[in-house]
């Protein structure tokens, strides 16, 4: 079995290309839809699979990652799968210890406190040695999907990862991480550059393993203002897109569509639209028409229903989806939530969201 399943060759033929077509700006019969955190705790089968295992041990098991990635696709007619993993595997690859503390979330046992702490990080990372388990999970999942839908790989963006590494976990203010940007700008750039290099190799490795699209999560963009974003986030976001595309060409790998999702960074939408990504992901705090006006016609937009809309009755979800589709238009558009699914959401309401996107977009396209 392993020779077949572990080889990133001879993948099954793709049967549903809608997501990839929309990402590339080609015409689609319906608007494709997937959900951030679609493999997650809102599914009872996810909780059951995860129950016995430590979180990061689960991330390191290709078999479990594959199973968790496939679970939502057994329930819903989603147009893409996203590999089950975590953005904090990158700091782990740099030699930092991260543990998942129940009720608290991811916690770094020794966060970066002083500039000297940067010396403790691995300066050269062999991504295959450190993150090969993610690549194995991607290859196994790509075979197991049997061509049903494309598989998305992902990474956290440099600023978001840096903020976790300095804060030691989640934070409402990111004050420790932001203080580095003001007090230690040079060291901050050193760290961001190191992360950029590792993320680039990591994303290229995911494509080599079978990922058919890539998403970069700048989840903590909203903690930066426009100037700090220009200095400490945008240049690295741009560099990653350029370097990944260059290396994919050099290694004769497929040039897969790339998505940038910078949460709460409306002030940077114009720049993000020109940062080298085929798709710009949006959170729920911006109007579709406004996002279109700022990003222009050459990128696909992804988003942006308020995740909490899924607490509404099913008919109401349908109305909200229809309004969203009318705002974005059904083409050059991938429907999603403006952030991830929450653990207490009803799977049936997720199903109602997915089906409403398909039904309403088909109807709009016909008429």
What residues act catalytically?
Answer: 37, 41, 50, 86, 164
Could you give the CA distance from residue 93 to residue 348 in angstroms, rounded to a whole number? 37
Minimal CA–CA distance to 157: which of 241, 66, 73, 71?
A: 241
145 contacts: CB under 8 Å, gap ≥ 6: 12, 70, 73, 81, 151
Could you give the CA distance from residue 340 to residue 39 in angstroms, rounded to a whole number? 10
Rg, Å, the chain Cα set: 20
Could you give the CA distance from residue 292 to residue 283 in angstroms, rounded to a whole number? 13
Q: Which structure tokens are listed for 280? A: 């710009």
- What letters, b where the CB count within 10 A reaches 16 and e where it falls short, cover 39-49? bbebbeebeeb
Q: Which structure tokens are listed for 285? A: 């705090």
Cβ(92)–Cβ(56) under 8 Å? Answer: yes
Minimal CA–CA distance to 357: which of 327, 317, 309, 306?
A: 317
**Is residue 294 packed enough to be buried (19+ CB in 10 Å), middle (13-18) or exposed (0-12)?**
middle
Per-position DSSP letters for 205-267, written without gaps between them: HHHHHT-SEEEEEETTGGGS-HHHHHHHTHHHHHHHHHHHHHHHHHTT-----EEEEETT-GG
Distinct helix (H) and strand (E) counts, the chain: 16, 9
Phi/psi-derived region of residue 24, left when phi > 0, alpha when psi is between -120 and 50, beta in every other case: alpha
Minimal CA–CA distance to 240: which of 202, 207, 266, 191?
A: 202
């Amino acid at each position: 079995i392993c020779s077949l399943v572990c080889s990133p060759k001879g993948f099954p033929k793709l049967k549903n290309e809608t997501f990839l077509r929309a990402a590339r700006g080609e015409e689609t019969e319906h608007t494709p839809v997937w959900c951030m955190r679609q493999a997650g705790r809102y599914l009872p089968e996810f909780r059951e699979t995860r129950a016995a295992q430590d979180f990061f041990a689960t991330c390191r098991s290709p078999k479990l990652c594959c199973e968790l990635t496939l679970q939502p696709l057994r329930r819903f007619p989603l147009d893409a799968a996203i590999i089950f993993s975590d953005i904090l595997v990158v700091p782990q690859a740099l030699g930092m210890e991260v543990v998942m503390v129940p009720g608290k979330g991811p916690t770094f046992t020794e966060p970066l406190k002083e500039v000297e702490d940067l010396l403790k990080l691995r300066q050269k990372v062999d991504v295959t040695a450190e993150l090969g388990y993610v690549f194995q999970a991607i290859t196994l999942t790509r075979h197991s999907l049997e061509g049903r839908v494309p598989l998305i790989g992902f990474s956290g963006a440099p600023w978001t990862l840096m903020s976790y590494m300095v804060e030691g976990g989640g934070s409402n203010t990111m004050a420790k991480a932001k203080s580095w940007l003001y007090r230690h700008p040079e060291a901050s750039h050193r760290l961001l550059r190191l992360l950029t290099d590792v993320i680039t190799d990591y994303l290229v490795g995911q494509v080599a393993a079978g990922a058919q699209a890539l998403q970069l999560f700048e989840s903590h963009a909203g903690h930066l203002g426009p100037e700090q974003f220009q200095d400490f986030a945008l240049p690295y976001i741009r560099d990653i897109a350029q370097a990944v595309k260059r290396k994919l060409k050099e290694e004769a790998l497929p040039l897969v569509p790339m998505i940038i999702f910078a949460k709460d960074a409306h002030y940077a939408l114009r720049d993000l639209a020109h940062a080298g990504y085929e798709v710009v992901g949006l959170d729920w705090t911006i109007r579709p028409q406004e996002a279109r006006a700022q990003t222009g016609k050459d990128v696909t937009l992804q988003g942006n229903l308020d995740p909490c809309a899924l607490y509404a009755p099913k008919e109401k979800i349908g109305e909200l989806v229809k309004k969203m589709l009318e705002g974005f238009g059904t083409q050059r558009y991938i429907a999603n939530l403006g952030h991830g699914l929450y653990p207490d959401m009803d799977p049936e309401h997720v199903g109602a969201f997915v089906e409403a996107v398909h039904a309403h977009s088909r109807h709009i396209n016909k008429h």
